[in-house]
Amino acid sequence: MTRAWLGGAAAVALLVCLPVVSLLAIAAQGSAGLWSHLAANVLPAALRDTLILLAGVGVLVAVVGTGTAWLVTAHDFAGRRLFEWALLLPLAVPTYISAYAWLDILHPVGAVQGWVRAVLGYSSPREFRLPDVRSMTGCVLLLGLVLYPYVYLTARAMFVTQAAGLIEAARTLGERRVFRRVALPLARPAVAVGVSLALMEALNDIGASEFLGVRTMTVSVYSTWIGRADLPGAAQISLAMLALVVALVMLERWARRNQRYAVGQRPRPIGRSALRGWRAGLAMLACAVPVLLGFAAPATYLMVEAWKRVAFAGISPTLWTEALNTVLLASAATVMVLICGTVAAYAARLHGRGGLLARATTLGYAVPGTVLAIGLLPLVAALDRGLIAAGLPAVLLLGGSGAVLLAYMVRFMAIATGGVESGFARIPPSLDHASRSLGQGPSGTFLRVHLPLSRPALVALALLVFVDCAKELPATLLLRPLNVETLATHLYGEAARGTYEEAAIAALVIVAIGMAPVILLARQPRPRYPGTP
Partner 1 sequence: MELALDRVSRRFGGVQALSDVSLGAGRGEVVCLVGPSGCGKSTLLRLIAGVDRPDAGTISLLGQDITHVAPEDRHVGFMFQDYALFPHLTARDNILFGLKRHRDAGAMAEEIIRRLGIGHLAARFPHMLSGGEQQRVALARALAPRPHVLLMDEPFSNLDRTLRDGIREETLAILAALEATVVMVTHDPEEALSSGDRVVLMRAGRVVQAGRGEDVYDRPRTAYAAGFFCDFNRFDGTTRGGAVATPFGPVAAGFVDGTAVQVLLRPQSLHPADSGTPATVTTVTLMGEIEQTRLRLACGQEMRMRSSRRHGLRQGDGVFLRADPAGVLVFPADAA
Residues in touch with partner 1 (CB under 8 A): 428, 430-441, 444, 448-449, 452-453, 529-533
119 in Cβ contact with 35 (< 8 Å): no
- The least distance separating partner 1 from the CB of residue 423, rounded to whole angstroms, comes to 13
Nearer to partner 1, 430 or 483 (CB): 430
- The least distance separating partner 1 from the CB of residue 463, rounded to whole angstroms, comes to 21
CA 294 to chain centroid:
15
Nearer to partner 1, 264 or 439 (CB): 439
Query: In terms of DSSP H, where are the helices of 40-183?
Result: 43-74, 80-86, 95-105, 111-120, 136-147, 149-158, 164-172, 178
Cβ neighbour number for residue 79 with a 10 Å cutoff: 14
Nearer to partner 1, 288 or 431 (CB): 431
For residue 34, which amino acid is it?
A: L
Nearer to partner 1, 33 or 452 (CB): 452
* Torsion sign across C-alpha atoms 134, 138, 139, 142: negative
Instruction: For residue 373, give the nearest of 398, 347, 337 by alpha carbon.
Output: 398
Nearer to partner 1, 56 or 423 (CB): 423
- The least distance separating partner 1 from the CB of residue 459, rounded to whole angstroms, comes to 15
SS3 393: coil
- The least distance separating partner 1 from the CB of residue 425, rounded to whole angstroms, comes to 15
- The least distance separating partner 1 from the CB of residue 335, rounded to whole angstroms, comes to 23
- The least distance separating partner 1 from the CB of residue 431, rounded to whole angstroms, comes to 5
Local structure of residue 417 (DSSP, 8 states): H
- The least distance separating partner 1 from the CB of residue 261, rounded to whole angstroms, comes to 21
452 in Cβ contact with 393 (< 8 Å): no
- The least distance separating partner 1 from the CB of residue 355, rounded to whole angstroms, comes to 16
- The least distance separating partner 1 from the CB of residue 145, rounded to whole angstroms, comes to 43
Nearer to partner 1, 272 or 448 (CB): 448
d(CA 411, CA 364): 5
Nearer to partner 1, 443 or 499 (CB): 443
Nearer to partner 1, 246 or 438 (CB): 438
Nearer to partner 1, 352 or 391 (CB): 352
The residues near 11 (Cβ < 8 Å, ≥ 6 apart) are: none
- The least distance separating partner 1 from the CB of residue 426, rounded to whole angstroms, comes to 10
The residues near 323 (Cβ < 8 Å, ≥ 6 apart) are: 487, 506, 509
CA distances for 243 relative to 217, 249, 282, 366, 464, angstroms: 12, 10, 41, 11, 27
Beta pairing class for 75-76 and 273-274: parallel
Cβ neighbour number for residue 282 with a 10 Å cutoff: 13
d(CA 241, CA 245): 6
- The least distance separating partner 1 from the CB of residue 444, rounded to whole angstroms, comes to 8
Nearer to partner 1, 317 or 530 (CB): 530
Nearer to partner 1, 331 or 440 (CB): 440
Query: In terms of DSSP H, where are the helices of 269-296?
Result: 277-291
d(CA 385, CA 119): 64
152 in Cβ contact with 88 (< 8 Å): yes
Half-sphere exposure of 138 (CA within 13 A, CB side): 21
